[in-house]
Structure 1
Amino acid sequence: MTASNHPGPFDFDSTAQLVTQITAQLTTQLSHLGLSGARRGGHHPPPDRPPTLVAVAHGSRDPAAPRTVTALMGRVRALRPDVPVRIGHIELNQPLLADTLAALRGEAVVVPLLLGRGYHIKQDIPSAVAAAPHLAARIAAPLGPHPLLAEALHARLAEAGRRGVVPPGAGVVLAAAGSRDPDAAVDAARTAALLSARLGGVPVLPGYASGSGPTVPEAIRALAALGREPTAVASYFAAPGRFATQCAGAAPGIAAAPLGAHPAMARLVLHRYEQALTSAPLSHPAATVGV
């Protein structure tokens, strides 16, 4: 007895009919699948997604610090919604940078939310990236020095000054964290010069909360010796914290808020990200670029 004598769902008059039905079934099944074999509706990144931007904050016991970093990254996401953004901290706050990198796959650009060169830039961050060999990663330059920082510092001074950026005849201390690395002092001095130019030539001297001097009080006295009083203090910190509070407390006059989530900061984060993407191949992990 042949199959043609018993009609059924797989009973065909010819091989051509069999091929036609199989083709139809495959077409239906494939319509529910993506090119990678994943069913439609699944959460799978597009193949051309940009590398993840990993923002590296220092970390602080001040609860306002991680909130500020989160707000800044919110501005970054608003400017570039196509770029995946993650946060990692060097210490004190979660997630730590090592944990953030361990959870990622593919390509990443690590952007330090630090304002100059020093131990964290030269040692801590490259070591963390080297410990994540599963990633193809670049390390961007620190945020400073850059004219966008002078823009944000100018704006914070204007907010604190109310009737003007700084009073006539005043000077400004650029209050920074400080470092024993001489490159950090070079970077701070360059930012001080940029801010001075932004203020129309008002003298701006760096002062430090730690590391090699001058301290903020010493910089204030130096400006007073030049006849520059009162002195405004520009907070050269990415987020609130112990050093920022300490420096503000030393101010005899205006004390500006930290840079925080100022729009110029968000633009600068993306500038460093894009600068890193065009400066070195991802095949060279732990390469700090764009300094």
Structure 2
Amino acid sequence: MTASIPPGPGGRPITPIGRRPAPPALVLVAHGSRDPRALATVEALMGRVRRLRPALPVHLGHIELNEPLLPDTLAALGDTPAVLVPLLLGRGHHVGQDIPRMAAAASAPTRTAAPLGPHPLLAEALHARLLEAGWPPAADDAFRRSSAVVLAAAGSRDPGSATDTRRTAGLLAGRLGVPVIPAYASAAAPAVPAAVRALTARGRHRVAIASYLTAPGRFATRCAAAGSWIVSAPLGAHEAMARLVLHRYHESLAAPWTSAA
């Protein structure tokens, strides 16, 4: 029978010599959607993260619309510390208000990572999705002069969200060598169809829509309907997304732990 380990100072358990403490759990925080493809996509991304880090406990919680909801995931973790990684592409109400409120109610220490965007790995995933949709891997000068991309995001009233989307547009433009214009499915301007029309009026006759969304759903469908040329798939479970999730997880570990009151 294994003897129990007495608590150390402050009531914290002492880790035996030679045994590493378990890493904090990684909790993917998805928005949630009524579209069943969204849940399947998030679960596929979770599976890819687990394959990259098999020893890391990875869980899923939703802000709304899908189970498990984030408070239920945190409750099930009990006293296990957790790092919440929002599967959101920029700042906004969910990142600034909803997720911190749910994290504060957890019984264990938690910390919330930065949203996924902006980051060069998102530009890598966006570029890959455009290539899958038909963007040429080696574009010549004539192609670049007549082409452009609309970066189609969900949209938010938070000005920080628009700033983050513009930064991602700049990163993608640097990879493609063509103008990349942010546009939105809701709550912000310009709308995706208006951005497509504006670029066409400027002589950009091949306007691609890059879906700056994590999963299929209502916004992805709305953005795709505005396309007159190629439309890329949402970012989904691309390998660069999984690498970015783990990057945000490890990045957040530099911050001090705080416990809920």
Q: TM-score, normalised by structure 1?
A: 0.80
Answer with 107-116 or 159-168: which moved more: 159-168
Distance between the aligned counterparts of 1:135 and 1:223, measured in 2? 50
The answer for the alignment partner of 1:224 in structure 2 is 200
Percent pairwise identity: 64
Rounded to whole Å, the distance in 2 between the matches of 1:34 and 1:244 is 55
In the alignment, structure 2 segments of 5+ residues that lack a partner are 7-18
- Report SS of the residue matched to 1:124: helix
1:68 aligns with 2:45: no
Equivalent in the alignment of 1:282:
257
TM-score (norm 2): 0.89
The CA deviation at 1:163 is 4.5
1:178 matches 2:152: no
Letter in 2 for 1:255: V
Equivalent of residue 86 in structure 1, options 48, 52, 59: 59
In the TM superposition, what is the alpha-carbon distance from 1:227 to its structure 2 partner? 1.1
Paired amino acid for 1:56: V
In structure 2, distance between residues paired with 1:103 and 1:180:
33
Secondary structure of 2:150's counterpart equals strand
Deviation track 1:80-129 (CA, whole Å, cap 9, x = no partner) reads 11110010001111000111111112210000000000000000000001
Among residues 188, 191, 196, which one is paired with 2:168 in the alignment?
191
Does 1:111 pair with 2:85?
yes
User: 1:129–1:137: 8 Å Cα contact kept in structure 2?
Assistant: yes
Q: Is the 8 A contact 2:26 2:85 kept in 1?
A: yes
Aligned match of 1:6: none
> Alignment partner of 1:111: what SS?
strand
Give the match's secondary structure for 1:268: helix
- Relative distance call for 1:51 and 1:165 in structure 2 (3 A) is farther
Name the residue aligned to 1:102: 75
- Report which of the two structures shows the higher radius of gyration computed on alpha carbons: 1
Residue in structure 1 matched with residue 234 of structure 2 by the alignment? 258
CA contact (8 A) 1:138 1:285 kept: no
The RMSD of aligned alpha carbons is 1.8
Aligned residue for 1:135, secondary structure, equals coil
TM-fit CA distance, 1:284: 5.6
Q: Residue type matched to 2:103 in 1? A: V
1:239 is aligned, of 208, 215, 226, to 215
- Please report how far the alpha carbon of residue 36 of structure 1 lies from its aligned counterpart in structure 2 after TM superposition: 4.8
**1:144 matched to 2:121:** no
Q: 1:258 is matched by which residue type in structure 2? A: P
Give the 3-state SS of the residue equivalent to 2:173 in structure 1.
Answer: helix
